[in-house]
A = this chain, B = another copy of it.
Amino acid sequence: MNELRDSTSPTRAIQDLSPSDGADAFTELTSEEAVEVAERLEPATLARILAEMHPHSAAALLARVQPPTVSRALAAMRPDDRVDVLEHVPPALHDRVMRDMTPSEAEEVRRLEQYPPESAGGIMTTEVTALHEQLSVDEAIAELRRRRRQEDQVYYVYTVDGDGRLTGVVSMRDLILSDPRAKLATAAREAVAVHAETDQEEVARQLRKHGYLGLPVVDAERRVLGFIAADDVADVAEEEATEDIQKLGGTAALDAPYLSVGFLEMLRKRGGWLSVLFVGEMLTATAMGYFEHEIARAVVLALFVPLIISSGGNSGSQAATIIVRSLAMAELRLRDWWRVLGRELRTSFALGAWLGLFGFTRVVLWQRLGWVDYGPHYVLLGVTVWVSLIGVVSFGSITGSMLPFLLRRLGFDPATSSAPFVATLVDVTGLVIYFGTALILLRGTLL
Protein backbone atom coordinates (compact mmCIF):
# COMPACT_ATOMS: atom_id res chain seq x y z
CA MET A 1 0.00 0.00 0.00
CA ASN A 2 2.68 2.38 1.08
CA GLU A 3 4.90 1.24 -1.77
CA LEU A 4 2.13 1.99 -4.23
CA ARG A 5 1.64 5.49 -2.86
CA ASP A 6 5.35 6.20 -2.99
CA SER A 7 5.66 5.17 -6.59
CA THR A 8 2.51 6.91 -7.85
CA SER A 9 2.87 10.22 -6.07
CA PRO A 10 5.60 11.71 -8.30
CA THR A 11 3.52 10.66 -11.31
CA ARG A 12 0.44 12.30 -9.91
CA ALA A 13 2.38 15.42 -8.96
CA ILE A 14 3.85 15.72 -12.45
CA GLN A 15 0.47 15.05 -14.09
CA ASP A 16 -0.88 18.16 -12.35
CA LEU A 17 1.94 20.50 -13.40
CA SER A 18 2.13 22.65 -16.52
CA PRO A 19 4.15 20.85 -19.25
CA SER A 20 7.20 23.08 -18.75
CA ASP A 21 7.13 22.61 -14.96
CA GLY A 22 6.72 18.89 -15.63
CA ALA A 23 9.82 18.95 -17.83
CA ASP A 24 11.71 20.74 -15.03
CA ALA A 25 10.47 18.18 -12.51
CA PHE A 26 11.89 15.37 -14.64
CA THR A 27 15.41 16.79 -14.26
CA GLU A 28 15.05 16.24 -10.48
CA LEU A 29 14.45 12.50 -10.87
CA THR A 30 17.06 9.75 -11.07
CA SER A 31 17.02 8.02 -14.43
CA GLU A 32 15.15 4.98 -12.95
CA GLU A 33 12.49 7.25 -11.42
CA ALA A 34 12.14 9.16 -14.69
CA VAL A 35 11.48 5.92 -16.61
CA GLU A 36 8.94 4.81 -14.02
CA VAL A 37 7.07 8.12 -14.08
CA ALA A 38 7.13 8.25 -17.89
CA GLU A 39 5.56 4.78 -18.05
CA ARG A 40 2.72 5.83 -15.75
CA LEU A 41 1.83 9.19 -17.31
CA GLU A 42 -1.00 9.63 -19.77
CA PRO A 43 0.53 9.55 -23.30
CA ALA A 44 -0.85 13.05 -24.02
CA THR A 45 0.71 14.46 -20.85
CA LEU A 46 4.02 12.75 -21.52
CA ALA A 47 3.94 14.08 -25.09
CA ARG A 48 3.48 17.68 -23.91
CA ILE A 49 6.28 17.30 -21.38
CA LEU A 50 8.63 15.77 -23.96
CA ALA A 51 7.95 18.71 -26.25
CA GLU A 52 9.10 21.09 -23.49
CA MET A 53 12.32 19.17 -22.74
CA HIS A 54 15.53 19.72 -24.68
CA PRO A 55 15.20 17.22 -27.61
CA HIS A 56 18.49 15.69 -26.48
CA SER A 57 17.09 14.92 -22.99
CA ALA A 58 13.70 13.80 -24.37
CA ALA A 59 15.41 11.34 -26.71
CA ALA A 60 17.56 10.00 -23.87
CA LEU A 61 14.43 9.35 -21.81
CA LEU A 62 12.59 7.62 -24.68
CA ALA A 63 15.59 5.39 -25.30
CA ARG A 64 15.03 3.90 -21.84
CA VAL A 65 11.24 3.40 -21.67
CA GLN A 66 9.11 0.54 -23.05
CA PRO A 67 8.47 0.53 -26.84
CA PRO A 68 4.64 0.89 -26.53
CA THR A 69 5.09 3.97 -24.31
CA VAL A 70 7.44 5.48 -26.88
CA SER A 71 5.00 4.93 -29.73
CA ARG A 72 2.00 6.27 -27.83
CA ALA A 73 3.86 9.37 -26.65
CA LEU A 74 5.23 10.14 -30.10
CA ALA A 75 1.81 9.67 -31.68
CA ALA A 76 0.44 12.33 -29.31
CA MET A 77 3.15 14.89 -30.16
CA ARG A 78 2.94 17.69 -32.71
CA PRO A 79 4.70 16.57 -35.92
CA ASP A 80 7.52 19.15 -35.62
CA ASP A 81 8.25 18.28 -31.99
CA ARG A 82 8.15 14.58 -32.87
CA VAL A 83 10.79 15.01 -35.56
CA ASP A 84 12.98 17.10 -33.23
CA VAL A 85 13.04 14.25 -30.73
CA LEU A 86 13.44 11.52 -33.37
CA GLU A 87 16.54 13.29 -34.68
CA HIS A 88 18.22 12.59 -31.35
CA VAL A 89 17.26 8.95 -30.67
CA PRO A 90 19.61 6.06 -31.56
CA PRO A 91 19.13 4.76 -35.14
CA ALA A 92 17.73 1.37 -33.97
CA LEU A 93 14.99 3.05 -31.92
CA HIS A 94 14.29 5.45 -34.80
CA ASP A 95 13.71 2.55 -37.20
CA ARG A 96 11.49 0.67 -34.74
CA VAL A 97 9.39 3.76 -34.05
CA MET A 98 8.96 4.41 -37.77
CA ARG A 99 7.69 0.83 -38.27
CA ASP A 100 5.12 1.31 -35.48
CA MET A 101 3.66 4.45 -37.07
CA THR A 102 0.75 4.61 -39.47
CA PRO A 103 1.97 4.99 -43.06
CA SER A 104 0.78 8.62 -43.18
CA GLU A 105 2.57 9.52 -39.93
CA ALA A 106 5.77 7.86 -41.11
CA GLU A 107 5.45 9.65 -44.45
CA GLU A 108 5.14 12.99 -42.62
CA VAL A 109 8.20 12.28 -40.47
CA ARG A 110 10.22 11.43 -43.57
CA ARG A 111 8.98 14.60 -45.29
CA LEU A 112 10.01 16.78 -42.31
CA GLU A 113 13.31 14.97 -41.86
CA GLN A 114 14.40 15.84 -45.38
CA TYR A 115 14.87 19.49 -44.29
CA PRO A 116 18.02 20.44 -42.38
CA PRO A 117 17.19 20.88 -38.66
CA GLU A 118 18.10 24.58 -38.78
CA SER A 119 16.00 25.41 -41.86
CA ALA A 120 12.43 26.71 -41.95
CA GLY A 121 11.30 23.22 -43.03
CA GLY A 122 13.14 21.74 -40.06
CA ILE A 123 11.40 23.87 -37.44
CA MET A 124 7.93 24.25 -38.99
CA THR A 125 4.81 22.43 -37.89
CA THR A 126 2.64 20.97 -40.63
CA GLU A 127 -0.46 22.08 -38.74
CA VAL A 128 -1.48 25.07 -40.79
CA THR A 129 -4.86 26.34 -41.93
CA ALA A 130 -5.05 27.09 -45.64
CA LEU A 131 -8.50 27.85 -47.12
CA HIS A 132 -9.61 28.69 -50.64
CA GLU A 133 -9.72 32.44 -51.14
CA GLN A 134 -13.19 32.23 -52.69
CA LEU A 135 -14.81 31.08 -49.43
CA SER A 136 -16.82 33.74 -47.58
CA VAL A 137 -15.78 34.84 -44.09
CA ASP A 138 -18.81 33.02 -42.67
CA GLU A 139 -17.93 29.80 -44.51
CA ALA A 140 -14.36 30.10 -43.29
CA ILE A 141 -15.51 30.44 -39.67
CA ALA A 142 -17.78 27.41 -40.09
CA GLU A 143 -14.84 25.46 -41.53
CA LEU A 144 -12.63 26.50 -38.58
CA ARG A 145 -15.35 25.35 -36.14
CA ARG A 146 -15.47 22.00 -37.94
CA ARG A 147 -11.68 21.58 -37.73
CA ARG A 148 -11.33 22.93 -34.18
CA ARG A 149 -10.21 19.66 -32.63
CA GLN A 150 -7.52 18.87 -35.17
CA GLU A 151 -5.52 22.04 -35.16
CA ASP A 152 -4.28 23.45 -31.95
CA GLN A 153 -2.64 26.73 -32.79
CA VAL A 154 -4.61 28.86 -35.20
CA TYR A 155 -3.52 32.48 -35.35
CA TYR A 156 -3.86 32.98 -39.08
CA VAL A 157 -5.82 31.54 -41.96
CA TYR A 158 -3.83 31.48 -45.20
CA THR A 159 -5.76 31.90 -48.43
CA VAL A 160 -4.83 29.82 -51.45
CA ASP A 161 -5.90 29.77 -55.10
CA GLY A 162 -7.21 26.79 -57.05
CA ASP A 163 -3.69 25.36 -57.39
CA GLY A 164 -3.06 25.56 -53.64
CA ARG A 165 -0.71 28.54 -54.04
CA LEU A 166 -0.53 31.07 -51.22
CA THR A 167 -2.38 34.29 -52.06
CA GLY A 168 -2.82 36.03 -48.71
CA VAL A 169 -3.31 35.93 -44.97
CA VAL A 170 -6.31 36.66 -42.73
CA SER A 171 -5.70 37.02 -39.00
CA MET A 172 -8.30 35.79 -36.51
CA ARG A 173 -8.84 39.43 -35.66
CA ASP A 174 -9.51 40.38 -39.31
CA LEU A 175 -11.88 37.45 -39.54
CA ILE A 176 -13.87 38.78 -36.58
CA LEU A 177 -13.91 42.34 -37.83
CA SER A 178 -14.76 41.59 -41.48
CA ASP A 179 -18.16 41.52 -43.12
CA PRO A 180 -19.37 37.89 -42.76
CA ARG A 181 -20.45 37.77 -46.42
CA ALA A 182 -17.19 39.10 -47.84
CA LYS A 183 -14.87 36.75 -49.66
CA LEU A 184 -11.68 35.76 -47.83
CA ALA A 185 -9.77 37.24 -50.77
CA THR A 186 -11.20 40.66 -49.81
CA ALA A 187 -10.35 40.34 -46.13
CA ALA A 188 -6.86 39.01 -46.81
CA ARG A 189 -3.65 41.02 -46.69
CA GLU A 190 -0.52 40.22 -48.64
CA ALA A 191 1.26 37.29 -47.00
CA VAL A 192 4.95 37.17 -46.20
CA ALA A 193 6.17 33.59 -46.53
CA VAL A 194 9.49 31.81 -46.15
CA HIS A 195 10.81 28.97 -48.25
CA ALA A 196 11.36 25.60 -46.61
CA GLU A 197 15.10 25.84 -47.25
CA THR A 198 15.46 29.27 -45.59
CA ASP A 199 17.82 29.30 -42.61
CA GLN A 200 16.12 29.68 -39.23
CA GLU A 201 18.09 32.85 -38.48
CA GLU A 202 16.58 34.44 -41.57
CA VAL A 203 13.11 33.27 -40.45
CA ALA A 204 13.69 34.97 -37.09
CA ARG A 205 14.74 38.16 -38.90
CA GLN A 206 11.63 38.11 -41.11
CA LEU A 207 9.35 37.57 -38.11
CA ARG A 208 10.94 40.42 -36.20
CA LYS A 209 10.83 42.64 -39.22
CA HIS A 210 7.18 42.16 -40.03
CA GLY A 211 5.89 41.70 -36.49
CA TYR A 212 3.79 38.66 -37.36
CA LEU A 213 3.05 35.97 -34.78
CA GLY A 214 4.10 33.33 -37.25
CA LEU A 215 4.94 32.81 -40.91
CA PRO A 216 3.77 30.26 -43.48
CA VAL A 217 6.38 28.03 -45.05
CA VAL A 218 6.04 27.42 -48.80
CA ASP A 219 7.72 25.32 -51.47
CA ALA A 220 9.22 26.57 -54.72
CA GLU A 221 5.71 26.78 -56.28
CA ARG A 222 4.46 28.81 -53.27
CA ARG A 223 2.28 25.93 -52.02
CA VAL A 224 1.75 26.07 -48.26
CA LEU A 225 3.76 23.37 -46.44
CA GLY A 226 3.64 24.46 -42.82
CA PHE A 227 3.78 27.20 -40.24
CA ILE A 228 6.41 28.61 -37.87
CA ALA A 229 5.15 30.33 -34.71
CA ALA A 230 7.01 33.27 -33.19
CA ASP A 231 7.62 31.40 -29.94
CA ASP A 232 9.44 28.61 -31.79
CA VAL A 233 11.73 31.27 -33.18
CA ALA A 234 12.28 32.87 -29.77
CA ASP A 235 14.01 29.57 -28.98
CA VAL A 236 16.04 29.98 -32.16
CA ALA A 237 17.34 33.38 -31.03
CA GLU A 238 18.33 31.87 -27.68
CA GLU A 239 20.05 28.92 -29.36
CA GLU A 240 21.97 31.18 -31.69
CA ALA A 241 23.04 33.38 -28.78
CA THR A 242 24.16 30.28 -26.87
CA GLU A 243 26.19 29.11 -29.86
CA ASP A 244 27.80 32.53 -30.22
CA ILE A 245 28.55 32.73 -26.51
CA GLN A 246 30.13 29.29 -26.48
CA LYS A 247 32.23 30.02 -29.54
CA LEU A 248 33.33 33.35 -28.05
CA GLY A 249 34.38 31.44 -24.94
CA GLY A 250 36.65 29.31 -27.09
CA THR A 251 34.72 26.05 -27.26
CA ALA A 252 32.75 24.29 -29.98
CA ALA A 253 28.96 24.76 -29.59
CA LEU A 254 27.77 22.08 -27.16
CA ASP A 255 24.31 21.66 -28.78
CA ALA A 256 22.95 20.20 -25.54
CA PRO A 257 22.56 21.12 -21.88
CA TYR A 258 25.84 20.86 -19.91
CA LEU A 259 24.78 17.88 -17.81
CA SER A 260 23.61 15.87 -20.85
CA VAL A 261 26.94 16.07 -22.65
CA GLY A 262 28.95 12.87 -22.20
CA PHE A 263 32.54 12.86 -20.89
CA LEU A 264 34.18 12.02 -24.22
CA GLU A 265 32.00 14.44 -26.20
CA MET A 266 32.84 17.23 -23.73
CA LEU A 267 36.55 16.42 -24.10
CA ARG A 268 36.26 16.50 -27.87
CA LYS A 269 34.34 19.80 -27.99
CA ARG A 270 36.62 21.60 -25.55
CA GLY A 271 39.87 19.81 -26.31
CA GLY A 272 39.71 20.59 -30.03
CA TRP A 273 39.91 24.34 -29.63
CA LEU A 274 42.24 24.12 -26.64
CA SER A 275 44.70 22.06 -28.71
CA VAL A 276 44.61 24.52 -31.58
CA LEU A 277 45.16 27.43 -29.18
CA PHE A 278 47.95 25.51 -27.46
CA VAL A 279 49.77 24.94 -30.72
CA GLY A 280 49.42 28.66 -31.48
CA GLU A 281 50.58 29.54 -28.01
CA MET A 282 53.70 27.38 -28.50
CA LEU A 283 54.94 30.22 -30.67
CA THR A 284 55.34 32.23 -27.47
CA ALA A 285 58.02 29.76 -26.37
CA THR A 286 59.71 30.28 -29.73
CA ALA A 287 59.44 34.06 -29.41
CA MET A 288 60.73 33.97 -25.85
CA GLY A 289 63.61 31.73 -26.98
CA TYR A 290 64.48 34.34 -29.57
CA PHE A 291 64.94 36.89 -26.75
CA GLU A 292 66.59 34.44 -24.34
CA HIS A 293 69.85 36.36 -24.53
CA GLU A 294 68.14 39.62 -23.49
CA ILE A 295 66.28 37.90 -20.65
CA ALA A 296 69.56 36.43 -19.34
CA ARG A 297 71.15 39.90 -19.35
CA ALA A 298 68.13 41.61 -17.77
CA VAL A 299 65.99 39.11 -15.88
CA VAL A 300 63.91 42.05 -14.68
CA LEU A 301 62.41 42.20 -18.22
CA ALA A 302 60.88 38.74 -17.78
CA LEU A 303 58.93 39.89 -14.71
CA PHE A 304 56.56 42.04 -16.79
CA VAL A 305 55.92 39.54 -19.57
CA PRO A 306 52.63 38.16 -18.14
CA LEU A 307 51.34 41.67 -17.32
CA ILE A 308 52.01 43.00 -20.80
CA ILE A 309 50.77 40.11 -22.90
CA SER A 310 47.62 39.66 -20.82
CA SER A 311 46.74 43.35 -21.23
CA GLY A 312 46.87 42.87 -24.97
CA GLY A 313 44.75 39.73 -24.64
CA ASN A 314 42.15 41.46 -22.46
CA SER A 315 41.73 44.47 -24.75
CA GLY A 316 41.58 42.15 -27.76
CA SER A 317 38.90 39.98 -26.14
CA GLN A 318 36.84 43.07 -25.35
CA ALA A 319 37.03 44.43 -28.86
CA ALA A 320 36.32 41.05 -30.49
CA THR A 321 33.31 40.40 -28.26
CA ILE A 322 31.78 43.81 -28.91
CA ILE A 323 32.24 43.60 -32.67
CA VAL A 324 31.04 39.99 -33.00
CA ARG A 325 27.81 40.82 -31.15
CA SER A 326 27.28 44.02 -33.15
CA LEU A 327 27.70 42.06 -36.39
CA ALA A 328 25.29 39.36 -35.15
CA MET A 329 22.69 42.01 -34.26
CA ALA A 330 23.22 43.70 -37.66
CA GLU A 331 24.20 46.93 -35.89
CA LEU A 332 27.39 46.82 -37.92
CA ARG A 333 27.87 45.74 -41.51
CA LEU A 334 30.88 44.61 -43.43
CA ARG A 335 31.42 48.03 -44.97
CA ASP A 336 31.58 49.68 -41.52
CA TRP A 337 35.02 48.16 -40.91
CA TRP A 338 36.72 51.39 -41.83
CA ARG A 339 34.73 53.48 -39.30
CA VAL A 340 35.34 50.85 -36.63
CA LEU A 341 39.07 50.88 -37.37
CA GLY A 342 39.19 54.65 -36.90
CA ARG A 343 37.33 54.46 -33.59
CA GLU A 344 39.39 51.55 -32.30
CA LEU A 345 42.65 53.32 -33.13
CA ARG A 346 41.68 56.30 -30.98
CA THR A 347 40.05 54.30 -28.18
CA SER A 348 42.85 51.77 -27.88
CA PHE A 349 45.59 54.39 -27.92
CA ALA A 350 43.87 56.18 -25.04
CA LEU A 351 43.31 52.91 -23.14
CA GLY A 352 46.91 51.81 -23.69
CA ALA A 353 48.28 55.17 -22.54
CA TRP A 354 46.09 54.98 -19.42
CA LEU A 355 47.10 51.42 -18.50
CA GLY A 356 50.71 52.27 -19.32
CA LEU A 357 50.57 55.15 -16.83
CA PHE A 358 49.47 52.60 -14.20
CA GLY A 359 52.33 50.29 -15.17
CA PHE A 360 54.92 53.07 -15.13
CA THR A 361 53.72 54.24 -11.70
CA ARG A 362 53.85 50.66 -10.40
CA VAL A 363 57.51 50.28 -11.46
CA VAL A 364 58.67 53.67 -10.17
CA LEU A 365 56.63 53.63 -6.94
CA TRP A 366 57.64 50.12 -5.87
CA GLN A 367 61.31 51.05 -6.46
CA ARG A 368 61.04 54.35 -4.54
CA LEU A 369 59.26 52.63 -1.68
CA GLY A 370 62.11 50.15 -1.56
CA TRP A 371 59.82 47.13 -2.06
CA VAL A 372 61.78 45.87 -5.06
CA ASP A 373 65.10 46.56 -6.71
CA TYR A 374 64.86 47.04 -10.46
CA GLY A 375 68.39 48.53 -10.59
CA PRO A 376 69.52 52.05 -11.48
CA HIS A 377 67.63 52.23 -14.79
CA TYR A 378 64.20 51.70 -13.27
CA VAL A 379 62.72 54.84 -14.88
CA LEU A 380 63.76 53.63 -18.32
CA LEU A 381 62.24 50.22 -17.46
CA GLY A 382 59.01 52.00 -16.48
CA VAL A 383 58.99 53.87 -19.80
CA THR A 384 59.55 50.59 -21.65
CA VAL A 385 56.52 49.10 -19.89
CA TRP A 386 54.44 52.20 -20.69
CA VAL A 387 55.33 52.34 -24.39
CA SER A 388 54.89 48.57 -24.77
CA LEU A 389 51.42 48.74 -23.23
CA ILE A 390 50.32 51.39 -25.74
CA GLY A 391 51.59 49.17 -28.54
CA VAL A 392 50.16 45.92 -27.18
CA VAL A 393 46.72 47.31 -26.24
CA SER A 394 46.40 49.02 -29.63
CA PHE A 395 47.49 45.90 -31.47
CA GLY A 396 45.09 43.79 -29.38
CA SER A 397 42.10 46.06 -30.02
CA ILE A 398 42.78 46.38 -33.72
CA THR A 399 43.25 42.62 -34.14
CA GLY A 400 40.19 41.88 -32.01
CA SER A 401 37.97 44.32 -33.89
CA MET A 402 39.15 43.60 -37.44
CA LEU A 403 39.31 39.80 -37.23
CA PRO A 404 35.48 39.39 -37.02
CA PHE A 405 35.09 41.52 -40.17
CA LEU A 406 37.75 39.47 -41.95
CA LEU A 407 36.13 36.18 -40.91
CA ARG A 408 32.71 37.34 -42.13
CA ARG A 409 34.23 38.58 -45.40
CA LEU A 410 35.79 35.15 -45.95
CA GLY A 411 32.45 33.50 -45.25
CA PHE A 412 33.26 32.18 -41.76
CA ASP A 413 31.32 32.80 -38.55
CA PRO A 414 32.71 35.96 -36.89
CA ALA A 415 32.15 34.35 -33.46
CA THR A 416 35.11 32.07 -34.25
CA SER A 417 37.36 35.00 -33.35
CA SER A 418 36.85 34.09 -29.72
CA ALA A 419 38.41 35.76 -26.72
CA PRO A 420 41.00 32.95 -26.32
CA PHE A 421 41.79 32.96 -30.05
CA VAL A 422 42.45 36.70 -30.12
CA ALA A 423 44.40 36.47 -26.85
CA THR A 424 46.65 33.80 -28.34
CA LEU A 425 47.31 35.83 -31.48
CA VAL A 426 48.08 38.88 -29.40
CA ASP A 427 50.32 37.04 -26.92
CA VAL A 428 52.93 36.20 -29.54
CA THR A 429 52.87 39.67 -31.07
CA GLY A 430 52.84 41.24 -27.62
CA LEU A 431 56.16 39.58 -26.81
CA VAL A 432 57.72 40.91 -29.99
CA ILE A 433 56.39 44.42 -29.27
CA TYR A 434 57.66 44.32 -25.68
CA PHE A 435 61.15 43.02 -26.36
CA GLY A 436 61.42 45.19 -29.49
CA THR A 437 60.63 48.28 -27.42
CA ALA A 438 63.14 47.16 -24.78
CA LEU A 439 65.87 46.67 -27.40
CA ILE A 440 65.39 50.25 -28.59
CA LEU A 441 64.90 52.01 -25.24
CA LEU A 442 67.30 50.01 -23.07
CA ARG A 443 70.22 49.62 -25.48
CA GLY A 444 73.39 50.69 -23.70
CA THR A 445 71.79 50.58 -20.26
CA LEU A 446 70.14 47.29 -19.32
CA LEU A 447 70.76 45.58 -22.67
Contacts and interface: CB of A to CB of B under 8 A. Distances in A.
B257 A331 contact: yes
Contacts of A148: 177
Contact of A285 (B254, B306, B431): B306
Given A259-B332, A302-B305, A351-B274, A318 B248 contact: no
B299 A295 contact: yes
A11 interface: no
Interface in A316-363: 317-318, 320-326, 329, 331-332, 336, 339-340, 343, 346-347, 350-351, 354-355, 358-359, 362
Contact of A321 (B248, B279, B326): B248
A190 to B, nearest CB: 12
A285 B310 contact: no
Contact of A431 (B172, B173, B278, B306): B306
Nearest to A315: B274
A162 interface: no
Most buried by B among A18, A21, A423: A423
Contacts of A144: 173, 176-177
A249 B320 contact: yes
B237 A279 contact: no
**Main SS class of interface, A:** helix
A250 B289 contact: no
Interface in A104-158: 141, 144-145, 148, 154-155
Interface in A296-318: 296, 299-300, 302-307, 309-311, 313-315, 317-318
A46 interface: no
Interface in A20-51: 20-21
- How many of these chains are in the complex? 2
A249 B144 CA distance: 51
Contact of A310 (B263, B324, B347, B424): B424
Given A281-B310, A322-B251, A329 B242 contact: yes
A132 to B, nearest CB: 18
A200 to B, nearest CB: 14
A360 to B, nearest CB: 12
A54 B326 CA distance: 13
A249 B248 contact: yes
A233 B18 CA distance: 21
A76 interface: no
B423 A310 contact: yes
Given A241-B244, A288-B304, 4 more contacts: A237-B241, A245-B324, A249-B317, A275-B358
Q: Which 3 A-B pairs have the closest CB atoms?
A: A249-B321, A172-B172, A241-B241
